[in-house]
Amino acid sequence: MVFITRPLLVLFLSCYTSLALYTPPDNYLISCGSSQNITFQGRTFVPDSLHLLKTGNSSVVEEATNSSNLSIYQTACVFSGLASYRFRISSPGRHWIRLHFSPIKNSTWNLTSASVTVLTDDFVLLNNFSFKNQQILKEYTVNVTTDSLTLTFIPSNKSSLAFVNAIEVVSVPDSLIPDHANTLHPSSPFPLSRLAFETVYRLNMGGPLLTSENDTLGRRWENDAEYLHVNSSVLVVTANPSSIKYSVSATQETAPNMVYATADTMGEAANVANPSFNLTWVLPVDPEFSYFVRVHFCDIVSQAMNELVFNLYVNDDLAHPSLDLSSLTNGLKVPYFNDYISNASSYSGGSLTVSVGPDSQGDITNATMSGLEVFKISNEANSLSGLSSVKSLLPGGGGSCSNEKKVVIIGSAVGAVTSVLLIAVCCYCCLASSTRKKSPREGGNGNGNWLPLPLYGLSQTLTASRKSNTASCISLASTHLGRCFTFQEIMDATSKFDESSLLGVGGFGRVYKGNLEDGTDVAVKRGNPRSEQGMAEFRTEIEMLSKLRHRHLVSLIGYCDERSEMILVYEYMANGPLRSHLYGGELPPLPWKRRLEICIGAARGLHYLHTGASRSIIHRDVKTTNILLDKNFVAKVADFGLSKTGPSLDQTHVSTAVKGSFGYLDPEYFRRQQLTEKSDVYSFGVVLMEVICCRPALNPVLPREQVNIAEWGMAWQKKGLLDQIMDINLAGKVNLASLKKFGETAEKCLEEYGVDRPSMGDVLWNLEYALQLEETSLALMEADDNSTNHIPGIPMGAMETFDNSIVDRGGGNSGTGIDDDATTSAVFSQLVHPRGR
């Protein structure tokens, strides 16, 4: 093992050239606008005349140069209208499409103002893409299933231009990209074969820039230094490329040996003060898409087998615990890689993070990574850029067809519509008959049971009449589930889902701000068909919220299930999620009193769920992103898609599959798959820790003992030093008695076993008590400018006594009496009096 500086490493590796192993069946290298062959980075690009379809919209631009070594970026083909290239495909399967752009200077065309849309037969690669004065390489991977591939270039508007400097269409080895990969949260197979990818990052950890001269597949590998979270924490390690021992699973096509011959590591020489520090790369991404992540490893660090054991994190998820490379590969210097799917809902601040950190099972405190690839995955519109489909972007709504084809299409459409109408009439008759036969108690059309939502928009075909813009959803309206909106009403309210009105992206889908015809502001949540949450969550959300009305629960206004859509319409919460006011944004810090009021509001909402109905309701996804704030900072609990009806009186729990968000999951529920109201209490305890510390529930960027806020916060709380890790903005501004009560409440919530945790009523009462302590302190501080961190005039010993007493909540006896309010329970006196347990 050799430690080497980056400049020397570049010089060392530049002398080594890999041997060709794979010959692509299709290998088109096109120099657009050129009249001669151009050799670039060891490959020959030919003129585009054989592939450019005849059009009057194209012109040639050439940059004036005296150089004998022409570059593919010195010529371009410019389009003032739609133009296409067509390539004959001899071997169907995945192909790379690489588009080279450089807005070269020209007296006729101003290419820096160009705005380009690029389409294949099935996928949108670029939509309204603009350029700065720089060279850009865009790489895509598309599965071509026919004998030809068409690339269409369209100026994004009438006053704009489209252009391209060079095009590559190259076959991808069959073994390079799998048909499935596992999602991170939760782990499940994710099909890839019909999806397209865009290469967002391809990094060579610790190594130099690699181009087609070093990679026989023409890939470009960048150095990773720009994306390291803490650059000084990295120790670059290198080995002789010829010493890399490829296996059956990881071959030269997986990545060049130059990638596996270098690595970023940590250790004593890495200048890391904390030995459990994680090595982290922060990669800005578009949060509206999911990503295919491939991580490359090669143990060129260890001197013996089984020495190096470490953990791999992707975002907040532990992707691979206790990773022992030598055991997986049966040797040292043997390449290994693994693939993961990171969902669109898991990004914090628009960044994807990948981290490695040491595991306690290893003999050495170290971690390593050799390479990283991140690919954007096409969305439900078959697009890698926005939400528009190929058909919607082509002039006229999608190409031309012959009259015969039109007749067939029209005939098929008429037949299909007729069939649907007949089926709908039959369904309606059956439903009406069934309704007449059943009384409300038997599950008819009364106020009792849920009538099943149709899978894709059939409630609209069951509409008896539509004389106005308001939907008349026969299948749902009589069940008091809120207003049934038409899809057109939703489109009008959101200005056709205008991106400027986007409020956020969640596990169910995207949320937009809307405005109804009466001027009411609303939040519109549009379901993503490819989300892990689907019809079941959609139905649960409507069913739950239609029964619940409370000041501290977000109100459901209505829904839309027309045109295969799953759309929910809520009251608009002007101040957004609690999380955005704690960290990850630029909003001003919340004062301690307001934080307490927000926690109390959320606790009231959860307490109502647990006790306010005939059967308790367990939220199952309590977190700071699901606590929303209105314009007055009143907290309301939101997102009931995972909610579950609680156990009946003769049961202690509900047995169900584990669902929720990592970092907030009740460990007892996770182990035993037994859900109780105390699972919400645990999650709320994590929320309390976030409120006081202003950091995420899980953060793999931090040292190992700080990754999980529940464990880290409780370690300080048990020492009585919670004030040492609280938000710096609260320093000197919090009454210590109030903070102590808050910390004790969080500690009780985070007990490992549910039986040891308080009820939400107990939590609520203790938070209200903490607020009273804070308000008393503030009142006395106003009367005495010399007040600091405790109530003046009361010795700290007396404060302890005051802190352990019960607050009289309007009529109850202080000390030992129990209020008639439903928020109390038998364990409350034990919770308030620690000596009672």
Q: Which residues are annotated as a binding site for ATP?
A: 525
Angstrom distances, CA of residue 249 to CA of 175, 205, 246, 427, 749: 9, 21, 8, 53, 47
| Active-site option among 264, 316, 324, 621 | 621
Q: For residues 174, 177, 180 and 181, what is the CA-based torsion angle, rounded to 10 degrees? A: 160
Distance of CA 498 to the CA centre of its chain: 20
What secondary structure letter does DSSP report for 362? S
Residues 565 and 492: beta-carbon distance below 8 Å:
no
Query: How far is 303 from 508, CA to CA, in rounded Å?
Result: 48
Q: Taking the CA atoms of 560, 563, 565 and 566 in sequence, report the sign of the dihedral they define.
A: positive
Pairing of strands 567-571, 556-560: antiparallel
Distance between CA 370 and CA 294 in Å, rounded? 11
* Cβ atoms of 215 and 221 closer than 8 Å: yes
Contact 437, 431 (CB under 8 A): no
- Strands 483-484 and 556-560 come out as parallel
Cα separation, 207 vs 358, in Å, equals 22
Backbone angles phi, psi at 235, to 5 degrees: -115, 120
Of 198, 184, 211, 93, nearest to 139 by C-alpha is: 198
* Residue 333 identity (one-letter amino acid): K
- Taking 3-state DSSP, the helix, strand and coil percentages for the chain, each rounded to the nearest 5, stand at 30, 25, 45
Tell me the two tokens of residue 425.
């009439």
81 to 114, 154, 155, 271, 567: CA distances (angstroms): 12, 6, 6, 57, 37
Strands 509-515 and 521-527: antiparallel
**Are the CB atoms for 696 and 690 separated by under 8 Å?**
yes
Closest CA to 336 of 278, 263, 254: 254
Structure tokens at 247: 């296996």
Please list the residues that pair with 136 across neighbouring strands: 101
What is the spatial distance between Cα 666 and Cα 645, in angstroms, rounded to a whole number?
17
Q: Is the dihedral of CA 729, 734, 739, 741 positive or negative?
A: negative
- Listed residue (547, 567, 571, 543) closest to 557, CA to CA: 571
Cα 542 to Cα 569: distance, rounded to the nearest angstrom: 10
The SS3 of residue 59 is strand
Q: Which of 834, 590, 628, 587 is nearest to 726 (CA)?
A: 590
And the tokens for 102?
């450089």
Among candidate residues 21, 27, 415, the one with its CA nearest the CA of residue 255: 21
Which amino acid would we find at residue 288?
E
Beta-strand pair 222-223/197-204: parallel
CA distance 591 to 581: 11
Count of residues making up the chain: 837
Cβ neighbours of residue 313 closer than 8 Å, sequence gap 6 or more: 278, 319, 353, 354, 355, 356, 357, 700
Binding positions are 525
761 by Cβ neighbours in 10 Å (0-12 / 13-18 / 19+) ranks as buried
The set of residues, in sequence order, having a beta carbon less than 8 Å from that of 564 and lying 6+ positions away, is 456, 457, 529
Pair 160, 120: CB distance under 8 Å? no
Tell me if 819 sits within 8 A of 809, measured CB to CB.
Answer: yes
Active site residue 621: yes
Catalytic machinery residues: 621
